[in-house]
Amino acid sequence: MTVSRGTDPAMRPRLRELDFLRCLAMLGVLTIHVTSTFLDGESRVRLMGMNLAFLLNQVARFAVPTFVFLSGWSLGLAGQPASWKAFWKKKVRRFLPPFLLWSLLYAFTEANYDPAAFLRLFRDGWWRVRIFLLGQAAPHLYYIPLLFQFYLLAPLLLRWVRKSPGWALGCAFCSTLLLTGWYILETLSLLALPYPPYLWMSAPLWLFYFVLGLWLARRPIRPLRTALSRTPVLPALLTAAFALLYCLVSVRLGVLDSLRLSLLLYTPLVSWAGAALWQRLDRRPLARSAVDFLAPLSMDIYFSHVLALVWLRRVPLLQKGTWAMLLLWLCTFLSALALSFGLGMLKRLVSRHKRHRAASL
């Protein structure tokens, strides 16, 4: 079976591997933010000088590159739309309203829920640019402006991958490699050339992951699944070994964020291991039900979990210690899940009301 190139949603293959990887990436982002304040905390249990918070924080760094990779894979599976104008209009309707609303809410939180303070911030033109165009209202919202960049470039990237898949993947790899390497060298004071502000959230830096998704979407699905089901242990072992190496390099370099050269290999390894693991989990009804429930909520959880975290960090019980961190993770996930589920119900009610109103006219 090969991947359908049609634009009819009913004709597209349903790949639960994508849903599973999307859930893993969402949990990874949540883990990065929860553990960020526990990195230097005291812990009785350490591995090569690293506490559990540090290990989890660094292991989860595959999350954002995986989201970009999955966006490319999903777009590649859908194929070229009949109308790019309709495609862009659909994406704007889906992502822009929640992005703007969550940006305003996080900005209001930054102003400590003081309307006067919020209005003072809002009058600043650069503040509005930073919040609404650069996604700086919260540490995770930059992904939406980045995603819009790829959607605008989609016609060119799809044509490029279709005509010259190997050349496209190689050039995308070089783009991400050079710009990430520049960032690392400048961070380590090994390069005098300053890194331009906000270059880290531009499409060329993340290009490899998106093009890799487009490239993979053109591969036949059945042979890929067969190969994954035959080797579930190998990718898991390789990914675990590389994850440990990734953490050790983080300690050695003192670079802890998600711009790393090693992610060029680590992200595909995690995706390989996750897809292979799903070949086993797919046989279990509980796992299928969990992924079917969580995947549609993953973007709402992505938007809301930082707000839940802001409030939960005020609870003294959740501030110090490994157990406090684990409990904070669980409470943050459940709070964001409940909020996302409620928002999903509200969306369905509004959509049902619109359909009923349109039918009655």
Q: Where are the domains of the chain?
A: 9-360
Per-residue confidence band for 182, with pLDDT thresholds at 50, 70 and 90: very high
In this prediction, residue 27 carries a pLDDT of: 96
pLDDT higher than threshold 90 for residue 354: no
In this prediction, residue 220 carries a pLDDT of: 78
In this prediction, residue 1 carries a pLDDT of: 32
In this prediction, residue 5 carries a pLDDT of: 42
pTM of the model: 0.89
In this prediction, residue 204 carries a pLDDT of: 95
**Cα–Cα nearest to 184, from 242, 258, 246, 241:** 258
Share of the chain above pLDDT 70, in %: 91
**Cα–Cα nearest to 140, from 298, 328, 320:** 298
Residue range 317-333: average pLDDT?
Answer: 92
Task: Report the alpha-carbon angle 109-311-255, nearest 5.
Answer: 85
d(CA 67, CA 6): 23
Q: Which two tokens stand for residue 253?
A: 């370099």
Per-residue confidence band for 149, with pLDDT thresholds at 50, 70 and 90: very high
Share of the chain above pLDDT 90, in %: 56
220 vs 37: which has the higher pLDDT: 37
pLDDT higher than threshold 90 for residue 360: no
DSSP single-letter state for residue 282: T
pLDDT higher than threshold 50 for residue 96: yes
In this prediction, residue 162 carries a pLDDT of: 93
pLDDT higher than threshold 80 for residue 42: no
In this prediction, residue 251 carries a pLDDT of: 85
DSSP single-letter state for residue 38: G
pLDDT higher than threshold 80 for residue 65: yes
Per-residue confidence band for 49, with pLDDT thresholds at 50, 70 and 90: low
Per-residue confidence band for 45, with pLDDT thresholds at 50, 70 and 90: low
d(CA 161, CA 58): 31
Residue range 196-213: average pLDDT?
Answer: 94
pLDDT higher than threshold 80 for residue 11: no
186 vs 10: which has the higher pLDDT: 186
pLDDT higher than threshold 70 for residue 44: no
24 vs 124: which has the higher pLDDT: 24
pLDDT higher than threshold 70 for residue 344: yes
Q: What is the dihedral of CA 237, 239, 241, 247, to 10 degrees?
A: -150
In this prediction, residue 73 carries a pLDDT of: 93
- Which segment of 15-19, 29-33, 311-315 scores lowest on mean pLDDT? 15-19
Residue 78 CB contacts under 8 Å (≥ 6 apart), including other chains: 7, 12
Task: Report the alpha-carbon angle 338-344-350, nearest 5.
Answer: 140
**212-221, 229-238, 321-330: range with highest mean pLDDT:** 321-330
d(CA 273, CA 283): 17
In this prediction, residue 336 carries a pLDDT of: 95
Question: What is the average pLDDT score of the chain?
Answer: 87
